[in-house]
Amino acid sequence: MDLKGIGLFNECYLPILDGVSITVKNYALWLNRKVAPTIVVTPKFPNYTDNEEFKVIRYFSGALPIRKPYRYGLPYLDYNINGNLSGIPLGIIHSHSPFSAGSLALKIARKKGIPIIATFHSKFRDDLEVHFSNKYVVDYLLKNIMNVYGSVDEVWIPQAKVEETIRSYGYKGQLEVVENGIDLNHTIDIIKYRNESRQILGFNPDEFVLLYVGQHIWEKNLKFLIESLRLSRNLKFTVLFVGDGYAKPNMEKMVQEYGLNEKVKFCGVVSDRDQLKRIYACADLFLLPSLYDTFSLVIREAASVQTPSLLLKGSNVAEFIQDGVNGYLSENNENTFMQKISELFTKKAEMRIVGDNASHTLCRSWENIIDEVQDRYYNLIKRKSNQACY
């Protein structure tokens, strides 16, 4: 079947680094290599030049002060975007955002008469409630978001537990579960790699290193994390926070007030994937107390170098975790969370086994994922074509 071309639409892309932008990049990379010419359509980012194997088409955007460095796309103010897209042959469109990118994706799909898929990535109500205190405003905006999902041919979710969230928002249609992959290469001699990484990054072999990688936003339950670390008392460890976000200044203030300066290091954004892999390898334990994430690439990236994660019971990201088998789980309580960390101080040998199990149970390559995605694209195109015949 000739797919012609594939269009991926998302509200953010590089240089912004988050789970969705990394997902879109890897979709585009492997689809372009293995399936058909692929384009990414996304808002413009000031002073940034794309340098990809595939085509990236940008449209007019404005600053989003409440969520720096994110941009809000304004395609209706861009007189060239429709013309730029009209001449590109596409067989299917896959939207990863319900905002301007999702609306534009729907418009182009209808104009071209081709199928469109939308992946549900985020807990949008949580995002909206951080910035809007009025329940009616939140409900109105959420209704508009769900209208986009209700208008596409298929809605994908990254894992089964996410169904609870999208159903609670009012979505009643069919859902398809399609996992995401990771782009960090497998390392054969992980012990050697870990020791080399610690030496390169300046950590002692016996130092207990904890790690968080991701957006520095309150939705990620980072107040809980810092409050937990406050209870560490005489335990000696180093905590690395990698990333950036609107909450970072207040996080730094909390660390200062709680006297955690000697234990906590803010590393900023690490865009070099090889450098980030070394940071994952240095860590004994990855910390993600988030109740916000629908799917977590970072715990899988950590698992790729056999670093296990500590998560909260009942969270979406904990769906595939068995406590003490391929990761660790805690109750949603600061004392219990810190107690779990304390217990693991003397269980490094056990943690290595758990980390090894995590690497075998949580990690799928993007190349492998794209084979499944290709089959699903073809099946949708075939189904839509058959429907058009009646």
Beta strands 209-213 and 92-95: pairing type?
Answer: unpaired
Residue 352 contacts residue 191 (beta carbons within 8 Å): no
Rg value, the chain, Cα = 21
Q: How far is CA 201 from CA 139, 198, 283, 385, in A?
A: 47, 5, 11, 55
pLDDT band at 224 (very low <50, low <70, confident <90, very high): very high
Q: What is the pLDDT of residue 187?
A: 78
**Among candidate residues 81, 55, 116, 2, the one with its CA nearest the CA of residue 13:** 55
* Residue 193 half-sphere exposure toward CB, CA atoms < 13 A: 18
Report residue 184's pLDDT band, with 50, 70 and 90 as the boundaries: confident
Alpha-carbon distance of 307 to 324, in angstroms, equals 13
Confidence at residue 1, expressed as pLDDT on a 0 to 100 scale: 58
Return the pLDDT at 188.
81
DSSP H or E segment with residue 148: helix 135-149
- Cβ atoms within 10 Å of 72's Cβ, excluding its own: 15
Locate the domains of the chain by residue range.
6-181+365-388, 190-361
In angstroms, the Cα distances linking 216 to 67, 75, 302, 378 are 11, 28, 18, 38
Residue 118 has a pLDDT of 98
pTM of the model: 0.89
- Tokens of residue 220, six digits: 């990620």
- Do the domains at 6-181+365-388 and 190-361 have one common CATH topology? yes
Confidence of residue 101 (pLDDT cuts 50, 70, 90): very high
Q: From 3.40.50.2000, 3.90.1150.10, 3.40.630.30, 3.20.20.70, which CATH number describes the 190-361 domain?
A: 3.40.50.2000
| pLDDT-derived band at 130, boundaries 50, 70, 90 | confident
Closest C-alpha to 29, from 51, 45, 11: 51
What average pLDDT is seen over the chain? Answer: 94
Report the CATH number of the 6-181+365-388 domain.
3.40.50.2000
pLDDT exceeds 60 at position 389: no
Judge whether residue 186 has pLDDT over 80.
Answer: no
CB-CB contact of 72 with 66 (8 Å): no
